[in-house]
Structure 1
Amino acid sequence: MKEPAADGTPVAVTCRVLKLARQPYCRWLDKPVADAVLAQAYRANALFDAHREDPEFGYRFLADEARAAGAPMADRTAWRICRENR
């Protein structure tokens, strides 16, 4: 098992002090970024690239451009990502 600190503090002690279970901690070590978060980041990047090329157009056009670039998403998802990132 990996040690959480450079000083070699055991995982069991750290989890006990922080009142965390070891199993979720070990799952997080294996996969610190969730698939959904990673997919949203790729979609946001595709929308940003489409917006850079045509800054005047709205989220529906950006969603079409992103889908054409290989980032499939619904128009509502594109709207939410555009709203969150202004």
Structure 2
Amino acid sequence: MLVHSDRGGQYGGNAYRQRLHDHQAVRSQSRRGEGDGNAQAERLWSRLKTEALEVRERPVFTDLADAKGSIAN
């Protein structure tokens, strides 16, 4: 499994990296200063934040079922 993300601090932390390792997933990030290197992932997260999170009173999902339902809608 390949997981695309930007270079946000939460994606470089030990807990996140360990979780990927535990699930045999590989990180994919663009190089520093090359924002278009992972354009598809960047676009996905941008749309998700705008369409699913920013319209909420509190911009987080409460659990996986909440995320799945919100994204499906």
Give the TM-score normalised by the residue count of structure 1.
Answer: 0.28
* TM-score of the superposed pair, with normalisation by structure 2: 0.31
Between structures 1 and 2, the one with greater helix share: 1
The structure richer in strand per residue is 2
